[in-house]
Amino acid sequence: MKKELLMASALVSTLGVASVAQAVSYTLAGSMKIGAEFESPGGAAVDTNNVVDLSNFNVSLSETTDEGTTLSTSFQILDEGVMETDDDNSLTLTFIGGTVVDLLNAGNSAGTHVVAVPGAGGEQGIGGTSSNNAPTDVDFGAGSTALGIEVHSPANFLADGLKLSASFSADSGAAKTATAALDSSYGIGATYVTELGAGDTTLTIGGGFSGSEVAKTGTQLTTDQEGFNIGVSAVTGALTVGVGFGDGDTFADEGGSVTSQVDGSVTRIGISYAAGGGITLAIGATTGEAKDSTTVGTAGTTDDSHDATSASVTYAVADGVSAVIGYTTVDQNDEGLNDESSGGSAWYIGATMSF
């Protein structure tokens, strides 16, 4: 209860610093994707094809107090087969001097500073089901609850090009169940940007570390959700190259009150090149592996793995309009055995209109 009261006090005191105009400023953005996807799973699975029809509408709200503090938030309406509203955005306060504070749904700083690695465009993927728990995102160890706060330093903090963040999230108050759930978390992260040589190459280095506590009735897990990630990207003219790595522990809900403990790592690499004439080429690869176990206190002994390679060609047809052709191939192993049904290949052709 003490942590919840402290969080509420911070929110109330911040909002009460000054009056704000009744009508806040807003911006609108959105996009519509439509195309066709063709999947060829491995094994005896049947080839499928479907029409991809994805739309989103984003509203960003902001206003500045008399003291110069900017308050902002946003929400998003998505239609990806099922209409839903993305309502887990934070309330963001930007102070004079550049310090930024996210309140509620703040996230984890280890995830905030993940370096963007180039990847293929398109909406292609393999939709098979599997108990494979190999991670595919480098920040898989970074968790948070909705009752959280994240503080970001100004740009060029302590050194030119350096920015730091720290986050904390508290117990959500949900009752413990037989299935594991995140209870509280913390994270720290940093990003450093510099120019090399004559300034024709921009180098970005970023990463972070996170830890958490996991709630569960009965026998507790022997490891919590925690881990680190680090990444590097370099931009030289039209060429962007990036690599990211993550390592740590997490958990997975297998259904029926069964939780798997997962010890894994993942590497992502990618290259993109703006070839001119509105054409962008991109290729990316992801390699993840993990040992998982549904028996608390017993480490897994066989590997799950996920290896995917994707490539795409994107063409800027007009302002806000792009066409893309993408291809992906996926190989998976579950408990050391080839899982053909959740692997295979897929390709996509479609267009995106954005405003």
pLDDT-derived band at 230 (thresholds 50, 70, 90) equals: very high
Residue partners of 186: CB distance under 8 A and separation at least 6:
166, 167, 168, 169, 210, 211, 212
Provide the pLDDT for residue 2: 46
Q: Is 51 helix (H, G, I), strand (E, B) or coil?
A: strand
Residue partners of 38: CB distance under 8 A and separation at least 6:
47, 48, 49, 124, 346, 347, 348
The pLDDT mean for the chain works out to 87
Residue partners of 78: CB distance under 8 A and separation at least 6:
54, 55, 56, 84, 85, 86
Identify the H or E element spanning 229. strand 226-236
Contact 265, 135 (CB under 8 A): yes
14, 16, 17, 21 alpha-carbon torsion, rounded to 10°: 110
Report the candidate in 35, 297, 255, 1 with the shortest Cα–Cα distance to residue 147: 1
Please tell me the least confidently modeled range out of 6-10, 121-125, 278-282.
Answer: 6-10
| pLDDT tens readout for residues 338-347 | 887 788 999 9
The amino acid sitting at 266 is V
Of residues 338 and 136, the one with the higher pLDDT is: 136
Over 80: is that where the pLDDT of 257 sits?
no
Over 70: is that where the pLDDT of 1 sits?
no
| pLDDT tens readout for residues 23-34 | 889 999 999 999
Only one residue has tokens 């009735």, namely 217
Count CB-CB contacts under 10 A for residue 283.
17
> What's the whole-model pTM score?
0.84
Sign of the CA dihedral with 194 first, then 196, 200, and 201 last: negative
pLDDT-derived band at 17 (thresholds 50, 70, 90) equals: very low
Extract the tokens encoding 244. 């990211």
Q: Which fold has domain 2-354?
A: Porin (2.40.160)
